[in-house]
Structure 1
Amino acid sequence: MTVSVEHPLPDSQVVENKNQCTTDELVLDGGFVVPDPVAGGGFDAPEINAFGHTFRDYDVESLRNKQVEEFYKMNHINQTYEFVKKMREEYKKLDKLEMSIWECCELLNEVVDDSDPDLDEPQIEHLLQTAEAIRKDYPDEDWLHLTALIHDLGKVLLLPQFGELPQWAVVGDTHPLGCAFDESIVHHKYFKENPDLNNPAYQTKNGVYEEGCGLENVMISWGHDDYMYLVAKENGTTLPQAGLFIIRYHSFYPLHRSGAYKHLMNEEDVENLKWLQIFNKYDLYSKSKVRVDVEKVKPYYLSLIKKYFPEKLRW
């Protein structure tokens, strides 16, 4: 599946206005134009989050944001190149348990994300809000509906049966290790205590990588994104590469929001990033206190799971 861009945006341009969509510049397969909410169609992004603040505002004074800042302090101190390498080796074994995708969705009822300044509801609510918002605008892209449903399933790493990892090792924005920490990373100041700063090889723009090497070859901070990507890939999902890319990099905000680290991308990454930027709007702005009727939509998503995944997966 490909995406053609009629009027590409400059790499440095970031969409800041939530209700102004640049999607009229994107044309998908078959000439399908991304919906434009300004013109009266498609998903209409809300002005404020569940706490009454603008989305992803890490500076507003609130008890929730103090908790979020403490989370990022621990994340930036402890996420090192060697830590991520160790986690990938450990969890790629997929030896925790066997269960279906939907069983994993139900497990997420027990999880609340401490890094999220916009919502404190159980995670299954967010999954369905995102999936249903995308389904409304992209009724024929069923792989994208399913990708939205499962993109955060890796947060089960917080639960005892998956190792009960600390929040800083599971959620939050992700970033590369093995090269300089870009200043666009949320709460960048806390990297001053990260042990990787003692390694000069990690302090340049490219670090241990070559320009254009591809994100597949870059060590990204460990968390639910990378874990769910490993689960999907190793269990033989038939989701398109764009879906796997979304799952693996949807928390990589320095890239898809600020344009950082694009020098490490290859051509395939560039194409897949277009889908991720479409997905990100729904991932971020569909968060609300409005509940989804789980039993009503469950049969549809079970049919998609059957289409793209085996009945039971190794986790």
Structure 2
Amino acid sequence: MEHGTVTILDPSEIYRPDVNEKQFEGTDFKPSAKEIEKFRQFVEHPPEDDPQLAMIKNTYKLMHTHQTVEYVRKKHEQWCKFDRGEFTIMKALEFINTIVDESDPDTSVPNIYHAFQTAERIRERHPDKEWMILTGLIHDLGKVMAAWGEPQWSVVGDTFVVGCAVADSIVYRKTSFVDNPDLNNPAYNSKCGIYEEHCGLANVMMSWGHDEYFYRVLIENDCKLPEEGLYMIRYHSFYPWHTGGDYMHLCNNKDMEMLKWVREFNQFDLYSKSDGLPDLDALRPYYQALIDKYIPGTLKW
């Protein structure tokens, strides 16, 4: 620890062990120690002169207090009516140009730049996988909920399963769940909780956020992305699973097969974040062609 920030990623202090070989199993990516140290620093006691770190911790505190089984059910009912309007993918990207993620210690620029950074990093490594490049561009589009009034603690940040025991690898796990009423419900406190072992992630309720919402939008609008891309979108924020190694007891064979793709995507989602901003106008024609191929026209949101 130095200057109030964690420089060695210790799960006992920050509760998200990103320096974990499991994260990169099945991928060809091996980040350097220096590259890893730049990212994923969640501080239990933010210094007084760093309001961003304090905001991040507060966002997680609100999330972990209010994200309950009842809350998630209400959000599904509210947002899965798809009655917010009809917009193209490019229009939705313009909406998230107004959003700076309050849970992310690695970026302070509008989310649209992160979208293009991720896509371009994938394009460099996998130029033959158009569907994955497009997935990189659109993976955070569920954050339009924040542009439409949803509080960021209900939109951004790491996701987790509600309705069962809180996993050890969740960021701020030891301090931020103390006021969550589900912790006092015996039905939700066992390892499996309200679920059956190996029931499959599609059959559990995730904390509400942009991953689940945009996945639902794509399904509602019959997008042509392959299943691998849909898994990347639905679970890219599920760090306790794809990085922490938790919740494996709820996974079925399909989830385990798709885990390698989510981990492959994560390297581009995380390590593409930088201060170097792409030329959006120059990139739009290429990405519009991909949108027209896989998710054309307007979508119901």
TM-score, normalised relative to structure 1: 0.84
Matched, 1:302 2:278: no
Gap regions ≥5 residues in structure 1: 1-13, 27-33, 38-43
2:212 is matched with which residue?
226
Preserved CA contact (<8 Å) 2:18 2:40: no
Matched, 1:241 2:227: yes
Secondary structure in 2 matching 1:284: helix
**In 2 relative to 1, CA 58–268 (structure 1 residues): closer, same or farther, beyond 3 Å?**
same
Q: 1:1-315 counterparts in 2 under 5 A?
A: 16=19, 22=24, 26=27, 34=28, 47=34, 54-59=38-43, 61=47, 62-160=50-148, 164-188=149-173, 189-315=175-301
| 1:1-43 CA distance string (max 9 Å, x none) | xxxxxxxxxxxxx76279xx956x55xxxxxxx4x57xxxxxx
Identical positions, percent: 48
| 1:171-198 CA distance string (max 9 Å, x none) | 0000000000012101112111101112
1:271 to partner: Cα distance: 1.2
TM-score, normalised relative to structure 2: 0.88
Preserved CA contact (<8 Å) 1:235 1:310: no
Q: Distance in 1 between matches of 2:158 and 2:34?
A: 22
1:31 is matched with which residue?
none
| 1:233-279 CA distance string (max 9 Å, x none) | 11000101111111011000000111000110111111111101011
Secondary structure in 2 matching 1:193: coil
| 1:201-233 CA distance string (max 9 Å, x none) | 100000000111000010000011111001011
Q: Distance in 1 between matches of 2:132 and 2:234?
A: 14
Gap regions ≥5 residues in structure 2: 1-16
Q: Which amino acid aligns with 2:92?
A: C
| 1:143-183 CA distance string (max 9 Å, x none) | 000111000001110123xxx01111010000000000012
Secondary structure in 2 matching 1:259: coil
Q: Which amino acid aligns with 2:160?
A: H
Q: Which amino acid aligns with 1:159?
A: A
Q: Which runs of 4+ in 1 moved over 3 A?
A: 44-49
Secondary structure in 2 matching 1:196: helix
2:3 is matched with which residue?
none
| 1:261-311 CA distance string (max 9 Å, x none) | 011011111111110101101101110110111111111111111111130
Q: Distance in 1 between matches of 2:170 and 2:112?
A: 27
| 1:33-85 CA distance string (max 9 Å, x none) | x4x57xxxxxx779469xxx621111264332111001111110000001101
Q: Distance in 1 between matches of 2:216 and 2:32?
A: 31
Q: Which amino acid aligns with 2:218?
A: A
Counting matched residue pairs gives 280
